[in-house]
């Protein structure tokens, strides 16, 4: 059973929860159209990113939980790297004027993701609220702002 802790809703559909105090996972609601940036390829990749985060929901404390968290961060880093390179090339090929700041945001996200990965690699679980804040920022500040702006720019040029 999922218990919301007192942080409750940090964005619609995303909750921190408390698995017997061992691991507060993050629930990212299933991707829906409100997350769309208007570009199919990017939406599909964002959906995969959401799916990649999902195993954190079921993770439990103990060795098994650590394996799940480790695998999840590993996959997330891999896929984020792929996705950010894809967006970088897209921006370059369309001479997107805000490419530099957009790529800088990607760099910051990778850096933070890496720091969590290193923690997990050394056997400690990152604090759930940090992970929650991080994922929240990724979605709210990046996908729903920077990626949507990129999507709008590309759509004006006839991308689909």
Q: Using CB under 5 A as the criterion, which residues of the chain lie in contact with Fe ion when the complex forms?
A: 87, 147
In the bound state, the residue with its beta carbon closest to Fe ion is: 147
Q: Which is nearer to Fe ion, 48 or 66 (CB)?
A: 48
Q: Residue 102 CB, nearest distance to Fe ion (Å)?
A: 6
Q: Residue 28 CB, nearest distance to Fe ion (Å)?
A: 14
Q: Could you tell me which residues come within 8 angstroms of residue 94 by beta carbon, excluding any fewer than 6 positions away? A: 153, 154, 157
Strand, helix or coil for residue 5 = strand
Q: Which is nearer to Fe ion, 42 or 56 (CB)?
A: 42
Cα–Cα distance measured from residue 130 to residue 100, given in angstroms and rounded to the nearest whole number:
26
Q: Which is nearer to Fe ion, 10 or 139 (CB)?
A: 139
DSSP letter at 21? Answer: T
Q: Which is nearer to Fe ion, 35 or 147 (CB)?
A: 147
Q: Residue 46 CB, nearest distance to Fe ion (Å)?
A: 6
DSSP letter at 23? Answer: B
SS3 content of the chain, % helix, strand, coil (to 5): 65, 10, 25
Q: Residue 19 CB, nearest distance to Fe ion (Å)?
A: 29
């Amino acid at each position: 059973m999922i218990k919301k802790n007192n942080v409750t809703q940090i964005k619609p559909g995303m909750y921190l929860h408390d698995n017997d105090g061992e691991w507060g996972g993050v629930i990212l609601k299933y991707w829906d159209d409100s997350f769309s940036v208007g570009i199919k390829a990017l939406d599909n990749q964002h959906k995969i990113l959401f799916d990649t985060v999902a195993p954190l929901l079921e993770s439990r404390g103990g060795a098994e939980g650590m394996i799940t968290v480790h695998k999840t961060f590993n996959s997330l880093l891999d896929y984020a790297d792929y996705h950010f390179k894809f967006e970088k090339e897209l921006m370059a090929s369309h001479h997107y004027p805000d490419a530099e700041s957009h790529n800088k945001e990607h760099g910051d996200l990778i850096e933070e993701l890496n720091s969590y990965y290193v923690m997990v690699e050394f056997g400690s679980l990152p604090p759930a609220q940090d992970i929650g804040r991080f994922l929240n920022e990724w979605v709210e500040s990046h996908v729903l702002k920077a990626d949507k702006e990129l999507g709008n720019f590309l759509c004006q040029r006839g991308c689909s």
